[in-house]
Amino acid sequence: MTHSVCESEPMYTRTNSKLAMTQNVFESEPMNTRTNSKFAMTQSVCKSEPMNTRTNERCESEPMNIRTNGKLAMTQNVFESEPMNNRTNGKLAMTQSVCYSEPINTRTNGKLAMTQSVCE
């Protein structure tokens, strides 16, 4: 799966039942990768190089990675948007606003349904 977000090339690929995500937003290089059931996230926003290593110093935004009872709860603000990753009943419901658009990642019956609107 390849989507263009503001002339970038985010990709969603599944490798060995693990999710490897590479997403470029505003000429930055954020990556979401799952390694050995652990979540390692590196994200660049506003052409800067902020990283999420359980700290909250980013480009005037407040992204947070919080693990609760072995589950990942993520709240992230990017360019005045309000994307959220919420785990409910073991399923991931994701709502993300990028460039004033409304992409949505939702899991239904164990399958991933993705709808993405970019830079309208």
Tell me whether residue 60 is in a domain: yes
Query: How sure is the predictor about 98, in pLDDT bands with cuts at 50, 70 and 90?
Result: very low
Asked whether residue 119 carries a pLDDT value surpassing 50, the answer given is no
- pLDDT of 114 > 50? The answer is yes
Would you place residue 38 in the very low, low, confident or very high pLDDT band (cuts 50, 70, 90)? very low
Give every CB contact of residue 7 below 8 A, 6+ residues apart in sequence: none
- Give the chain's radius of gyration (CA, Å): 14
Whether 6 maps to a domain, the answer reads no
Polymer length in residues for the chain? 120
d(CA 110, CA 112): 7
How many whole angstroms separate alpha carbon 113 and alpha carbon 115?
7
77 DSSP assignment? -
Quick: pLDDT tens for 25-36.
444 344 444 444
Domain that holds residue 72: 11-115
Domain contains 44 = yes
Tally the domains of the chain.
1
Tell me, yes or no, if the pTM score tops 0.85: no
Residue 3 lies in a domain: no
| Residue 70 maps to a domain | yes
- 1 assigned to some structural domain: no
pLDDT tens digits, 41-83: 444 344 444 344 443 343 444 444 544 455 555 544 344 434 4
